[in-house]
Amino acid sequence: MNLLKLIPLLITAVILSACSGIGVTGKEVTVGGKNFTEQYLLSEMTAFLLVEEGFKVNQMNNLGSSVVRSALENGQVDMMWEYTGTALITYMGEDSIADPEAAFEKVKENDIKNDIHWMNMSDVNNTYALAMRSEQSEELGIKSISDLSDYINANPGELTMAADAEFANRSDGLPGVEDTYGFEFGSDQVRQMDLGLTQRTLNNEQVDVSVAFETDATIRNYDLVVLEDDKRFFPPYRAAVAINQEVFEKYPEIEEITARLADSLNSDIMRELNYLVDIEGQSVSVVAYDWLVENDFLEEE
Amino acid sequence: MNRKKWIGNIVKYALYALVATFFIWAIANSYFDYIFTQSGTFLVLLRQHVVLVLVSSILAILVAVPAGVLITRPKFKKAEWLVSNVANLGQTIPSLAVLALMISILGIGFKSAVFALFIYSILPIFRNTVAGIDSIDKNMIDAAKGMGMKPHQILFRVELPNSAYSILAGIRTAVVLNIGTAALAYVVGAGGLGVWIFTGINLFDNGFLISGAIPVTLLAILADYILRKIEYIVVPKGSRRIEKA
């Protein structure tokens, strides 16, 4: 599924790099991205804007979080949209911070020593969540993660969960949720699969709980409910631009170019754009381009 | 001859040293820790992996060997190219694509993965069955006929024993490939040790990667060893010597 989504992207990347190659300006950046729709969109929009400003843009997409992070640290990727929560907890091993601004400042401060500069925090909050089918959630009376924990402790081995390898093994993912709320699914009950499939599996009634994101379009489409995080385990995951310090000093204009994008985006818009790609099946490039044109970032050609 | 043996030994011990160094390096970095700290999960994944391989391989053997036998009967000989091409086709579709296509038909999980692995295992077994039976000396079959054997007697007493080596070689190839390919089952939620390999890739964690990949490798070596033993028992002495020469 992710592979199919990647094809239009690859084509555009090739076209983009070919186009900018003509007007040799010498300005070149590599934009990285992770392996889900929102990241493809953010990376694609950024690439369009940078190309518009005369950059030659390379894209390195469809990478796991930790992989793209290492690429950013060792300079294979110059910039990317990263989430404050992911950086704080997974990369830096810190405790989560509930206030988005404070989390952003902390991440920015910590990353100075890694030569990574953070800027332009957006209102896009791609925090993790647990989802269930609304019908079943009503039937079992599970509205919050605490309810889920109580139910699982009373009926061990009954409910199953779909998760991708990352969520199932990250400390700010399922293991952390289980620790905080005091329950355990058991290895046989957690079915790990490609991220693109988890909610489809839930919708097909093959599992009872699935990992979800706040900006996820499928929640609405499949009539799922997001379980309330009543102990506030999941911290904010605000998307912001993380850029290599050297590259930032070389091209400080990138801050301004991406600032308007960061200011305009929020979780609702992101969910809508994700919907166009994931549910309506439009290509990432088309959705990104159309949105940029509609919002006067680009002139239609 | 002596020099050849000498070089052979050097290569062999260098390889042993390489493998030993790898294990020492991995253990020193505690890359195998997950197998012990999460042994419950490990056993679940191992069981899923073995079941996936067993079910798909057995289904493939049950389909491919009879199909190979059938297609070498004089009556069906003409259809051989057709069946071979269909079997070939199965192999040419990328395994990831087979998995993805099967999701829409068989749903997510075990069934899709087994079907994809089954499709993948058919060709080597089928090919080797046909080749094994075709390679039997025609004089031997004539002799059997001369002795008054009926077609089914010729099949079970002459043709199958004499092509056993080739058929088992096909099965061995299929099973060993199958064990490696089964790591992709994670993608469709069918579990298996691929889960840890993908976790390692996504989290950039060598511990998960190696805790998943090494057992898969060992599983493949073990399966190959067991099948070699079976081969030794099943293949008649006469044809064993011929094949080795």
- CB contact (8 A) between residue B195 and residue A166: no
**Chain B residues in contact with A162 (beta carbon < 8 A):** 189
Mean pLDDT computed over A65-80: 93
Which residues of chain A make contact with B208, given a CB cutoff of 8 A? 169
3-class SS string, chain A: CHHHHHHHHHHHHHHHHHHHHHCCCCCEEEEEEECCHHHHHHHHHHHHHHHHCCCEEEEEEEECHHHHHHHHHCCCCCEEEEEHHHHHHHHCCCCCCCCHHHHHHHHHHHHHHHCEEEECCCECECCEEEEEEHHHHHHHCCCEHHHHHHHHHHCCCCCCEEECHHHHHCCCCHHHHHHHHCCCCCCCCEEECCHHHHHHHHHCCCCCEEEEECCCCHHHHCCEEECECCCCCCCCCEEEEEEEHHHHHHCCHHHHHHHHHHHHCEHHHHHHHHHHHHCCCCCHHHHHHHHHHHCCCCCCC
What are the tens digits of pLDDT across the range A134-166?
Answer: 999 999 999 999 999 999 999 999 999 999 988
Q: Is A67 on the interface with B (CB under 8 A)?
A: yes
pLDDT of amino acid B245: 39
Q: Judge contact between A234 and A127, C-beta under 8 A.
A: yes
d(CA B140, CA B159): 9
Residue range A28-126+235-295, CATH number: 3.40.190.10
CB B203 to CB A165 under 8 A? yes
Chosen from A67, A72, A187, A201 to mutate, greatest number of chain B CBs within 10 A: A187
Q: Which pLDDT score is estimated for A181?
A: 95
* Residues of A with Cβ-Cβ distance to B191 under 8 angstroms: 191-192
Across the interface, whether the CB atoms of A66 and B204 are under 8 A apart is answered yes
Nearest to A196, CA basis, from A100, A62, A70? A62
Q: Give me the total of CB pairs closer than 8 Å, taking one residue from chain A and one from chain B.
A: 76
Q: How many CB atoms lie within 10 A of CB B26?
A: 16
> In whole numbers, what is the pLDDT of chain B averaged over residues?
88
pLDDT of residue A199: 87
pLDDT at res. A145: 95
Looking at the DSSP assignment, which residues form a beta bridge with residue A132? A225
Candidates A169, A200, A210, A211: best to mutate against B (most CBs of B within 10 A) is: A169
Per-residue pLDDT averaged across A186-197, rounded?
A: 87
pLDDT of amino acid A6: 62
Whose structure tokens read 């970032």? A297
- CA B86 to chain A, closest CA, distance in angstroms equals 26
| B-proximal residues of A, 143-172, CB under 8 Å | 162, 164-166, 168-170
Specify the pairing of strand A239-244 against strand A79-83.
antiparallel
**Arithmetic mean of pLDDT, B60-65:** 95
Confidence class of residue A25 from pLDDT cuts 50, 70 and 90? low
Among A17, A26, A42, A70, residue whose Cα is nearest residue A261: A42
Query: Which residues of chain A lie closer than 8 angstroms to B205, CB-CB?
Result: 66
Nearest to A33 by CA among A15, A45, A19: A45
Quick check: A5 contacting B, CB < 8 Å? no
C-alpha B44, offset from chain centre: 22
| Contact call for B108 and A3, based on CB within 8 A | no
Spatial separation of the C-alpha atoms in residues A39 and B91, rounded to whole Å: 34
- How far is A111 from A72, CA to CA, in rounded Å? 11
Find the helix or strand (DSSP H, E) in which B27 lies: helix B2-28
Looking at the partner chain, which of B96, B109, B195 has a beta carbon nearest the beta carbon of A206? B109
Q: What is the pTM of this model?
A: 0.76
Q: Do A168 and B188 touch (CB under 8 A)?
A: no
Q: What is the mean pLDDT of residues A177-203?
A: 89
Confidence label for B244 from pLDDT (cuts 50, 70 and 90): very low
Domain ranges of chain A: 28-126+235-295, 128-226
Please tell me the distance from the alpha carbon of residue A245 to that of residue B183, in angstroms, as a whole number.
Answer: 39
Q: For all residues of chain A together, what is the average pLDDT?
A: 89
Nearest CA in chain B to A204: B107
Confidence band, pLDDT 50/70/90 cuts, at residue A276: very high
In A, which residues are within 8 Å of B202 by CB distance?
35, 64-67, 164-166
| Residue A18 confidence (pLDDT) above 60 | no
Where residue A21 falls among pLDDT bands split at 50, 70, 90? very low
Examine the pLDDT at A186 and tell me if it is beyond 90. Answer: no
Q: Using CB atoms, which residue from A66, A162, A201 is nearest to B202?
A: A66
User: CB–CB of A201 and B189 under 8 A?
Assistant: yes
Locate the domains of chain B by residue range. Answer: 1-30, 32-234
pLDDT of residue B92: 83
Residue A262 burial by Cβ neighbours in a 10 Å radius (0-12, 13-18, 19+): buried
Nearest to A191 among B100, B109, B208 (CB): B109
Higher per-residue confidence, A218 vs B214: B214
Q: What percent of chain A has pLDDT over 70?
A: 91
Confidence (pLDDT) at B93: 82
Mean pLDDT across A77-100: 90
CATH superfamily of B32-234: MetI-like (1.10.3720.10)
The sheet carrying A116-119 orders its strands as A56-63, A28-34, A79-83, A239-244, A116-119
The predicted pLDDT at position A79 comes to 96
Whether the predicted pLDDT of B14 surpasses 90: yes
pLDDT at A97: 87
pLDDT tens figures, B101-151: 888 788 888 999 999 999 989 989 999 999 999 999 889 889 999 999 998
Model pLDDT, residue A9: 59
Task: Answer whether B198 sits within 8 Å of A206, measured CB to CB.
Answer: no
Q: How confident is the model at residue A106, as a pLDDT?
A: 94
Helix axes B80-92, B110-134, angle to 10 degrees: 140
- On whether ipTM exceeds 0.90, the answer is no
Q: What is the DSSP letter of B108?
A: S
A293/chain B closest Cα distance in angstroms: 34
- Chain A nearest-CA distance from B35, in A, is 13
| Token pair listed for A226 | 């997001």
Residues in B lying within 8 Å of A, measured between beta carbons = 38, 40-41, 44-45, 96, 100, 103, 107-109, 186-189, 191, 195, 198-199, 201-205, 208
Class of domain A128-226: alpha beta
β-partners of residue A243 are: A79, A117
CB contact under 8 A, B202 and A188: no
The yes-or-no verdict on residue A23 having pLDDT over 50 is no
Q: How confident is the model at residue B29 (pLDDT cuts 50, 70, 90)?
A: confident
Q: Calculate how close chain A gets to B51, using CA atoms only, in Å.
A: 14
